[in-house]
Structure formats: C-alpha cells, structure tokens
Amino acid sequence: MSQEASQDFSLGKVQVASSPQERFDEYLQSKGKRTTQQRRALVECVFEEHDHFDADELLEMISRHAEGAGVSRATVYRTLDELVEAGLLRKMDLGGRAVYEHDYGYPQHDHLYCQLCRKLIEFRSEELMAIRDAVAAKHSFRVTGHRLIVSGVCEECSHKRHRRHSPLDLI
C-alpha cells in the first residue's frame, strides 16, 4: 500500500498528466498563492499512500514524516481546503468529522463503511451512475456529484465479537 516517493500517480486506474505537487503548484499560481514548505510537505505526505484520513491524522502523519518541519494545525486545515478546491482531495463527512481521500487521478467510487472498525471499503458501480443520472433527469436536477455510503459490518468484524468503536454513529 505504501510507496516511497510520490512518483506513480496512475494508481492503477486513471492516467493523469502531472504529479499532485505539480498540479497543486499550478492551482496555487492561478490563485496568486505561494508554494511554501508546509504546503509542499503536506501534499507529499497526503499522496504518499492512498488512504482515508482526517485532519488530526494528517497532523500526526506530517509531524512524523517531515523530520524537522512541523506544520501547525491551522495550516493543515487551511491546506486541506485548498487541496479540495484544487481538485486533489475529496472531502466527506463521516460521523461528525471530515474525512479526506484522493480525488485527483482517482476514479469515482463509493464506500462500504464498517460501523465497528470504521474501515472504508471502496467499490465502483457503473449501474449506480446510470440510476443516479436517470433519477436526476426525472427531477430536472443538475448533478455535480454524489456520495453513497453503505454502512454495516465488514467481514473481519463479523467474526470478532461485537464491540462498537463509538456509541451512536452517523452514517
């Protein structure tokens, strides 16, 4: 799952023109923003591995990752917003906290969400898109995206014994 440097961005799915770093730089330039050490470090850290994470986890990762460079909580939040706006990350709301995942060069997909271990399992479905678009059309609704989360219990957890991670989960 983990890969050393951010080099292969095809991630087995969609070919993209440039690395997340390059793409982010482009975005920053276009907005008159600057390429700083912390933004650079954050992008590197975020795209090192494809996974789901929240702001706190990224904050922790970055402090472990970049040897000397510490990035403040505020900057993490600010940069996450920028990465979303730049189209590099996708944001979703899960159980009250914001969770992020790669968007750039990554195909549309949905999730199975295990209520016990909080794991997210990705899946793709063409039919789903078709249904979505058909329904939208019926309502003259212009779709910009969708989010499907199927919640339940993953295979692993249904073997272990039932202990919740948190009492009342939003799905």
Cα–Cα distance between 55 and 77 in angstroms, integer? Answer: 7
Site string for a second copy, 94-123 (x = CB under 8 A): xxx-x-------------x-xx-----x-x
Q: Which of 46, 58, 144 is nearest to 104 (CA)?
A: 46
Cα–Cα distance between 76 and 58 in angstroms, integer? Answer: 8
- Where does residue 89 rank: exposed (0-12), middle (13-18), buried (19+ CB within 10 A)? buried
153 binds, among DNA, a second copy, none (CB under 5 to 8 A by kind): a second copy
CB of 82 to a second copy, least distance (A): 11
Q: Is 146 annotated as a binding residue?
A: yes
DSSP-assigned letter for residue 164: -
Of positions 13, 14, 26, 37, contacts DNA by CB under 7 A: 37
CB of 131 to DNA, least distance (A): 29
By residue count, the chain amounts to: 171
Cα–Cα distance between 156 and 99 in angstroms, integer? Answer: 22
Residues forming the site for a second copy (CB under 8 A):
81, 84-85, 91-96, 98, 112, 114-115, 121, 123, 125, 127-128, 131-132, 135-136, 138-155, 158, 168, 170-171
- Residues annotated within the binding site are 110, 114, 117, 146, 154, 157
